Amino acid sequence: MDNIRFALLCALGVLAFMLYQAWQADYSATAEPPRPTQQQQAAANSDATSRASDLAAPPQQSDRSGKPEADAAAAPGSDKRDRELAQGKTVHVVTDKLDVYIDTRGGDLRRVALLDVPVSADRPDSSLRLINDTTPNFFIVQSGLSGGDAPDHISLYKTQQQEYELAQGQDTLQVPLTWSDGNGHQVTKIFTFHRGSYRIDLEHEISNETNSAWDVSQYVRLWRTPFQLAGEIPFTKSFMGVGWYEALADEDNKYRYEKRDGDKLDENPLTLTQRGGWIAMVQHYFLGAVVMPNNVDVKLFADARAVPGSDSGEGFAAGFISAAQSVAADGREELKTTLYIGPKEQDQLAALAPGLELTVDYGWMTVLAKPIFWVLDKLHMVAGNWGVSIILLTILIKLAFYKLSEKQYRAMARMRKFAPRMQQLREKYGDDKQQLQAKMMDLYKKEGFNPLAGCWPMLIQMPVFIALYWMLRGAVELRLASFLWLQDLSAPDPYYILPVIFGATMFLQQRLQTNVTMDPMQQRMMQIMPLGMAVFFAFFPAGLVLYYCTNTLLSIAQQWYIYRKLDAEGLGHSAAAK
């Protein structure tokens, strides 16, 4: 087929893909509801407090299997709403990965900074704060026990010291908080931090020194406003909401990943009872997750929940509450769960809980994007730089598709060979389109030539190119990864050097494919296309543009080599010119 068709099909595919992304950003989300009045907001806050109280209350009763049923409906007075975010003393914890502030009021995680994750390329010395107890970037983690007088997320704990730091050579660090009602009920909440990890183990050690059993339920609540961190990519809408690992009905130990936009939880809240799994607050590169215990049934929840002190009041919460567990008289019990607060590093996520790595969003091309990232990660282990790794990955992909590309160029060369005869037909039958089409088909049939032969290799490669886009877009490893003048491969090139290189190499590649039979309109389109593509790529992540620049340069070298071979066979440029 004419190489103009090939180039136009490439441009059409890229343009359609970008238009689809833009449409998703503009129209996929539900319409924003009108801002509530002060009275409506007060009612919403009261309702949110009531639901928070319900989740902190034990199930009314359990069936014989131990599954939690309806939550207690009674809610404390309005003073509890004021205490939802009340503060006590602050416990400061520093590890090699995290800078954490724990409030003795409920043992809330109020502030967590990721020490090895800068806020942006412009602020490399400022650690990104993912957990924060002030608006507009509000995001906290609350936990506790419910049942009787058990300590919940507004109870006051005691601490032996207010500063903890992971010492050199120390692999774990435990931070205990203690509570007692003075009547024989004691709880020690222990946070355990790990070297080189964003994992935080949470344990409630319960002591019941009374003469009657104590029924308690464990719960964790993640609560936030829908803020986005820096680094969003134009033409796209990053997911912001709740993800969870849902147990499949009637299938033991089988789960599936589900997610729901935060702005849809008001009309479609989540309530689900199962055993095991996890639930998480998910956004582009970062994650706040809680892994549920697998020895007791739990109720997962996610709903819209107003944030006190927020101008808009918008927010949503997610978490779990377990079925009631009985602590025998004069007995002890340990209730454990695990938290993860950090970037979506796939190795850590996969090691923490099955399926947690699925929160890395590769879109509908995950089946291809995951193995491509695996190869890229292995190349990075060798090269030590993500930019160099992308170049090496491009070379490997180019080698894998070499034969397909050779077939494509051979088909284009045959088309070039038939170009004079096709031009003669156009001149002879140009006024009769039907007759011209019939004569063209006769020529194809006589010569045994398929005009679409040069198109199929490109179409086969297209899914790989799209998967690369999703992979490079979703990999947090590329965030703030430097290469030459680039300080962030996940952000657009600030100096537009790569888009200019891409436009220039695309123009050069077109010159190698110039077809003498193109009419003036086609020639003008071919001349404009490199400029248009360079402008589009100016808004794309630099890592993706680096891939396309490398791919185009390799294609030019490949075309030159293959055309030399075709010249020797009488099918190349020289043969076409005769």
From CA 147, how far away is CA 216, in angstroms rounded? 5
138-160 pLDDT tens trace:
999 999 999 878 999 999 999 99
Average pLDDT over residues 519-536: 74
Q: What is the pLDDT of residue 210?
A: 93
State the average pLDDT over residues 23-46. 37
Higher pLDDT, 438 or 382: 382
Question: Which range has the worst mean pLDDT, 78-87, 188-197, 238-247, 537-546?
Answer: 78-87
pLDDT attached to residue 356: 95
Residue 455 and residue 243: Cα distance in Å, rounded? Answer: 40
State the pLDDT confidence band at 514, using cuts at 50, 70 and 90. Answer: low
Residue 339 has pLDDT above 70, yes or no: yes
Work out whether the CA dihedral 18, 22, 25, 30 comes out positive or negative. negative
Helix (H, G, I), strand (E, B) or coil at 271: strand
Pairwise pLDDT comparison (290 vs 32), residue with the higher score: 290
Continuous segment of H or E residues that includes residue 103: strand 98-103
Q: What pLDDT is attached to residue 403?
A: 82
Q: Is the pTM of this model over 0.95?
A: no
For residue 502, what are its two tokens?
Answer: 């891409």
Percent over 70 (pLDDT), the chain: 76
Per-residue burial over 36-49, b = 16 or more CB atoms within 10 Å of its CB, e = otherwise: eeeeebeebbeebb
Judge whether residue 420 has pLDDT over 50.
Answer: yes
Q: How far is CA 545 from CA 259, 368, 473, 488, 497, in A?
A: 30, 19, 11, 12, 10
Say which range, 9-13, 485-489, 564-568, has the weakest mean pLDDT: 9-13
User: Average pLDDT of 476-493?
Assistant: 90
- Of the candidates 400, 401, 444, 398, the one whose C-alpha atom is nearest the C-alpha of residue 421 is 444
Eight-class DSSP state of 364: G
Based on C-alpha coordinates, what's the Rg of the chain?
30
Give the per-residue pLDDT at 96. 96
What pLDDT digit, counting tens, does each position of 167-178 carry?
Answer: 999 999 999 999
Check residue 523 and give its pLDDT: 64
Q: Which residues pair with 129 in a beta bridge?
A: 113
| Residue 39 pLDDT greater than 80, yes or no | no
Higher pLDDT, 82 or 346: 346
Long-range contacts, 25-29 (Cβ 8 Å, 24+) = 25/235, 25/236, 25/237, 28/237, 29/237, 29/261, 29/263
pLDDT interval class at 27 (50, 70, 90): very low
Residue 573 scores a pLDDT above 60: no
Q: Rounded to an integer, what is the distance from CA 128 to the centroid of its chain? A: 17
Does residue 394 register a pLDDT over 80?
Answer: yes
Mean pLDDT over each residue of the chain, to the nearest integer: 80
In tens, the pLDDT along 291-306 reads 999 989 999 999 999 8
Q: Which comes out higher in pLDDT, residue 173 or 48?
A: 173
| Helix, strand, or coil (residue 177) | strand
Q: What is the 3-state secondary structure (H, E, C) of 195-252?
A: CCCCEEEEEEEEEECCCCCEEEEEEEEEEECCCCCCCCCCCCCCCCEEEEEEECCCCC
For residue range 103-142, what is the model confidence (pLDDT) as tens digits?
Answer: 999 999 999 999 999 988 888 888 999 999 988 889 999 9
**In the prediction, which pLDDT does 35 show?**
38
- Which is higher by pLDDT, 434 or 46? 434
Domain ranges of the chain: 38-360, 372-409+454-577
Top-tier CATH class for 38-360: mainly beta
